[in-house]
Amino acid sequence: MPTSNNRLLQLYNEGQRDFHGWNLAGCDLSHLALSDIDLSYANLSHADLTGTDLRWSELRSVNLTRANLSRTNLHRARLQYANLTAARLVGADLRAADFSSANLTCANLAQADIWGAISPDGFSFLQIGLRADVPELV
């Protein structure tokens, strides 16, 4: 059973940052300020994180399958081994984020800022020629 986003917000506002392994599948966490949070190994599949501030977050091995991360700030987030299958990252700030060994199969990166981001194979997205400045596909 998914954990309530209200409980997460309460604990975060009290200063807790470690939410390892929490089940937040399908939760609405949109437009929240959650920088420096640790959601490693958490289940955020189908979650709505639109416009959420996740700068400097630990998101190792997190399940973000089909999550909406449009316009989310993931600047310098660590997403090693994360599952982002079919995730929506339209217009997201991915600058210097680390996607080493992450699964980005069918992820939508249209208009995302990928400057300095590390791709799943360990290279810069720009070094492998991936462009995120294309219009969003319908």
DSSP 8-class letter at 6: H
Global pTM reads 0.89
Give Cα 83 to chain centroid, integer Å: 10
pLDDT score of 125? 65
pLDDT digits (tens, 9 = 90+) for 87-106: 999 999 999 999 999 999 99
Closest C-alpha among 138, 43, 52 to residue 93: 52
Both tokens of 114, joined, read 């990928």
**Predicted pLDDT of residue 138:** 39
Cα separation, 127 vs 48, in Å, equals: 30
CATH number at residue 122: 2.160.20.80
Rg (CA), the chain: 14
| pLDDT-above-90 percentage for the chain | 81
9-42: per-residue pLDDT in tens?
999 999 999 999 999 999 999 999 999 999 999 9
Query: Sorting pLDDT into bands at 50, 70 and 90, what band is 4?
Result: confident
Domain encompassing residue 89 = 1-138
Amino acid in the structure at residue 7? R
Listed in sequence order, the DSSP H helices in the chain are 5-13
Cβ count near 41 (within 10 Å): 16
pLDDT of residue 1: 53
Q: Give the Cα separation of 118 and 135 in Å (integer).
A: 22
Closest CA to 49 of 24, 28, 35, 34: 28
State yes or no: pLDDT of 85 exceeds 50: yes
Q: Count of domains in the chain?
A: 1
- Look at residue 132 in the predicted model and tell me its pLDDT: 54
Q: What is the pLDDT of residue 54?
A: 98
The pLDDT tens digits of the residues spanning 46-72 come to 999 999 999 999 999 999 999 999 999
